[in-house]
Structure 1
Amino acid sequence: MGKTLVIGANGTVGSELVRLLAAQGQPVLGATSRATPGPGQVWLDLASHGGLDTAFDGVDRAFLLVPPGFVDQHLRLAPLIDTARQRGLRKVVLMTAMGANADEAAPLRQAERQLEASGVPYNIIRPNWFMQNFHTFWLQPIRTQGRILLPVGPARGSFIDARDIAAVAAELLLRSDLDNRDFDLTGAEALDHDEVAALLSEASGRAIVYQDIPPAAMLDALLAAQLPRPYAEFLLRILGHFQAGYAERTTDAVQAITGRAPRSFRQYAADHRAAWAA
């Protein structure tokens, strides 16, 4: 039995995917950019593609993504897709983002097109905004001020739990009946950020509110958090897409692929209540 290579194995989706595959007895190899890989890991630097020649040794399936921080996603993914083709992998699952296929010139869409043309059996999954952003990227002002600070107005988003994304990826990696298809992944309901704040308040036992802020203030906050300017500007651009209403749509893909409904935001908030508690 060949191994499954998981890119981003230390990340929000990748770590859960590794856990799910290992629980099913699947041999898993987690890619890491850390200089000293741990057990079950292999060194692979997506910036330089160092370690690429050995990362795919003994691998017949792969889960590909580009971690946060990069805006030239196609340049990071192209050598991985080429290697998967050259090695004759049995399956590749590529995670991009909902809306990536709206612009043929977008780097993520270029990666999707490359995979589609590779001849490797594939699936493309495009998740909507992660619920987990509220206890990672957007956490600091929630903790320090009791405020969700974002420039998205009253727009709604069908937020998805990263655990459900990983569950979908695990299914698709091990199945062939859904090969060569793409899926937009969402939660079951679309919420605005006032509703999100109410659910976080309920779970944490403290008052949390949503405050709409100007895009320029968001950019300043991202730069103050030491994000590279190109990536900060990219985040601001896709938050603009959220504000325009493009994140509201829901799909039944999680239910159709895994056989169960996606987790609700209330369940996510209850599971992570300690992150926002006073």
Structure 2
Amino acid sequence: MSTFLVVGANGSVASEVARLLAAQGHSVRKGTSRAATEAGQVHLNLLTGAGLTEALSGADGVFLFAPPGHVNHDELLIPVIDAAKAQGVRKLVLMSAMGANADPSAPLRKAELHLEASGLAWNIIRPNWFMQNFNTFWLHGIQTQNQILLPLGQAKGSFIDTRDIAAVAATLLSTDAHANRDFDLTGPEALDHDQVAAILSKETGRQIGYQDITPEAMQAGLLGAGLPAPYVGFMLLILSYFKAGYAERVTDSVSQVTGQAPRSVAQYAHDHRASWALPAN
């Protein structure tokens, strides 16, 4: 069995990667920017580099992604790639984002290219928009107004369940069947937000709708939630790509890597239906 460092192990994808690897019998180090409070956790702050050498020492493989809320992805990820190489790590799986490879000057693409040239065995996974956004980041509008509030028109997205992303990452880390390849990850179908709202409504018994808001309204909401202005600008940019149709493409990468079909939005909604329960009076 191998030893794997899972960076950002409190996140929805990384926590599931850690669980799957542990279930396979591997030793898992759960990297967290918070103080380590339980067995298997190690302190690791990508913003400062604190704990990086210790976390990587003796690791065979690493699951890595950029912490949310920041736009300087290359500055945060490249030092980890270099340190992994120096520490003798064998393989690194980087979670990027679908479309990141369209622009060589984009920070995420710079990190991807650096990994490809590093000499490490690698995989890059680029998931589409997460289904789990509907029970986290977009939840407030659903709970307070019964509306998914986004500036996306009628554009479609091939949303992916974070559990399927994690299954791909764990498979790539623990096997060599797809070494040195990149994969764009999507769910099984492309839906617009009216269709997603209808699925949530059917599953919960609530009347949930979708409202196409302006980018300015989205900006105000994100800033009001305390997100940094540069990150808000980044979010508006990638939302504009969604509206332009770039999130509609469907791939078979999940089944190609794991041998299992990706979950549908209907399955996701069923599994998370408690998330949209009406608040108790």
- TM-score, normalised to structure 1, is 0.99
Query: Which runs of no fewer than 5 residues in structure 2 stay unpaired?
Result: none
Q: What one-letter code is carried by the residue in structure 2 that aligns with 1:39?
A: A
Q: For residue 5 of structure 1, what is the aligned residue in structure 2?
A: 5
2:94 alignment partner, SS class? strand
Q: What one-letter code is carried by the residue in structure 1 that aligns with 2:125?
A: I
Tell me, in whole angstroms, the C-alpha distance in 2 between the residues paired with 1:52 and 1:170: 21
Percentage identity across aligned positions? 62
Q: For residue 258 of structure 1, what is the aligned residue in structure 2?
A: 258
Tell me, in whole angstroms, the C-alpha distance in 2 between the residues paired with 1:123 and 1:193: 31
Q: For residue 243 of structure 1, what is the aligned residue in structure 2?
A: 243
Q: For residue 111 of structure 1, what is the aligned residue in structure 2?
A: 111
Tell me, in whole angstroms, the C-alpha distance in 2 between the residues paired with 1:2 and 1:15: 18
Tell me, in whole angstroms, the C-alpha distance in 1 between the residues paired with 2:81 and 2:22: 24
Instruction: Please tell me whether the aligned partners of residues 58 and 89 of structure 2 are also in contact (alpha carbons under 8 angstroms).
Output: no
Q: For residue 66 of structure 1, what is the aligned residue in structure 2?
A: 66
Q: For residue 92 of structure 1, what is the aligned residue in structure 2?
A: 92
Q: For residue 200 of structure 1, what is the aligned residue in structure 2?
A: 200
1:74-223 maps to which residues of 2 (within 5 A)?
A: 74-223=74-223
Deviation at 1:74, TM superposition (A): 0.6
Deviation at 1:68, TM superposition (A): 1.2
Q: For residue 39 of structure 2, what is the aligned residue in structure 1?
A: 39
Q: What one-letter code is carried by the residue in structure 2 that aligns with 1:80?
A: V
What whole-Å deviation, never above 9, does each CA across 1:77-117 have from its counterpart, x for those lacking one? 01100011112222110000000000000000000000000
Deviation at 1:213, TM superposition (A): 0.3
Instruction: Please tell me whether the aligned partners of residues 61 and 173 of structure 1 are also in contact (alpha carbons under 8 angstroms).
Output: yes
Instruction: Please tell me whether the aligned partners of residues 56 and 89 of structure 2 are also in contact (alpha carbons under 8 angstroms).
Output: no
Instruction: Please tell me whether the aligned partners of residues 184 and 251 of structure 2 are also in contact (alpha carbons under 8 angstroms).
Output: yes
Instruction: Please tell me whether the aligned partners of residues 2 and 58 of structure 1 are also in contact (alpha carbons under 8 angstroms).
Output: no
Deviation at 1:36, TM superposition (A): 3.4
2:60 alignment partner, SS class? strand
Instruction: Please tell me whether the aligned partners of residues 124 and 183 of structure 2 are also in contact (alpha carbons under 8 angstroms).
Output: yes
Q: For residue 24 of structure 2, what is the aligned residue in structure 1?
A: 24
What whole-Å deviation, never above 9, does each CA across 1:200-232 have from its counterpart, x for those lacking one? 111111000000000000000000111111111
Tell me, in whole angstroms, the C-alpha distance in 1 between the residues paired with 2:142 and 2:244: 24
Instruction: Please tell me whether the aligned partners of residues 127 and 185 of structure 1 are also in contact (alpha carbons under 8 angstroms).
Output: yes
Deviation at 1:233, TM superposition (A): 1.0
Deviation at 1:270, TM superposition (A): 0.5
Tell me, in whole angstroms, the C-alpha distance in 1 between the residues paired with 2:67 and 2:77: 11
Deviation at 1:54, TM superposition (A): 0.7
Tell me, in whole angstroms, the C-alpha distance in 2 between the residues paired with 1:37 and 1:49: 19
Q: What one-letter code is carried by the residue in structure 2 that aligns with 1:113?
A: L
Tell me, in whole angstroms, the C-alpha distance in 1 between the residues paired with 2:41 and 2:277: 34
Q: For residue 229 of structure 1, what is the aligned residue in structure 2?
A: 229
Q: For residue 277 of structure 2, what is the aligned residue in structure 1?
A: 277
Q: What one-letter code is carried by the residue in structure 1 that aligns with 2:84?
A: A
Deviation at 1:165, TM superposition (A): 0.1
Tell me, in whole angstroms, the C-alpha distance in 2 between the residues paired with 1:36 and 1:173: 24
Q: Which runs of 4+ in 1 moved over 6 A?
A: none
1:210 alignment partner, SS class? strand
Instruction: Please tell me whether the aligned partners of residues 149 and 211 of structure 1 are also in contact (alpha carbons under 8 angstroms).
Output: yes
Deviation at 1:157, TM superposition (A): 0.1
Tell me, in whole angstroms, the C-alpha distance in 2 between the residues paired with 1:36 and 1:209: 41
Tell me, in whole angstroms, the C-alpha distance in 2 between the residues paired with 1:90 and 1:49: 20
- TM-score, normalised to structure 2, is 0.97
Instruction: Please tell me whether the aligned partners of residues 45 and 51 of structure 1 are also in contact (alpha carbons under 8 angstroms).
Output: yes
Tell me, in whole angstroms, the C-alpha distance in 2 between the residues paired with 1:3 and 1:50: 20
Q: What one-letter code is carried by the residue in structure 2 that aligns with 1:90?
A: R
Query: Which runs of no fewer than 5 residues in structure 1 stay unpaired?
Result: none
Deviation at 1:35, TM superposition (A): 2.3
Instruction: Please tell me whether the aligned partners of residues 5 and 59 of structure 1 are also in contact (alpha carbons under 8 angstroms).
Output: yes
Q: In the alignment, does 2:51 pair up with 1:51? A: yes
